Amino acid sequence: MRSVLPILLSVLIFPPISGCKRQHLLCCEPPFAYPFDGNWRLVEVSGGFAGVDIHVPSDSVTLALNANWQYSKTVKGQRTDSGPFTLVGLPAGAGGHSAGLRFGTDTLTTWLFQLQSDSLLLWQYEVNDGFDYLYKRIPN
């Protein structure tokens, strides 16, 4: 009986651990199935504790994402930020999201996203202040 117990425990414990690790790695390996590339215009910031909706003027903020996983952010015609962006795997129980975005060298802020053909909705994962950032795709 004693020799069966360690085998039984190893069968029950190790597959779930290795399964979680494998699932986490699979979400982060290329090729990614998300068509982020394109130019995006910030159209609305909503939420917060007061539940505000701020409509952003069309020439205020743009976000350019390319297929080489590089981004640039422009505010009123001036580039304010640029660099790589990455898709990162999230742990199970992350509100139904398996992946998030990180921009530049900031490894502390992960952005959850909802991507459609013409819109990109972003909100913070770690510190959710209640604000959502809605971008619309700029047609070519």
Dump pLDDT digits (tens) for 8-50.
Answer: 333 334 333 333 333 333 344 444 456 888 999 999 998 877 7
Instruction: Calculate the alpha carbon distances from 11 to 3, 17, 18, 19 in Å.
Output: 13, 11, 11, 12
pLDDT at residue number 33 = 53
Total number of domains constituting the chain: 2
Percent of the chain whose predicted confidence (pLDDT) is above 90: 32
Domain identity same for 57 and 88: yes
pLDDT at 61 over 50: yes
Percent of the chain whose predicted confidence (pLDDT) is above 70: 72
Domain identity same for 46 and 81: yes
Domain identity same for 17 and 70: no
pLDDT at residue number 50 = 73
Domain identity same for 64 and 1: no
Give the structural domain span for 67: 33-137
Domain identity same for 61 and 130: yes
Domain identity same for 24 and 53: no
Please say whether the beta carbons of 60 and 42 come within 8 A. yes
Dump pLDDT digits (tens) for 64-77.
Answer: 999 889 999 999 99
Tell me the pTM.
0.70
Domain identity same for 49 and 5: no
pLDDT at residue number 54 = 84
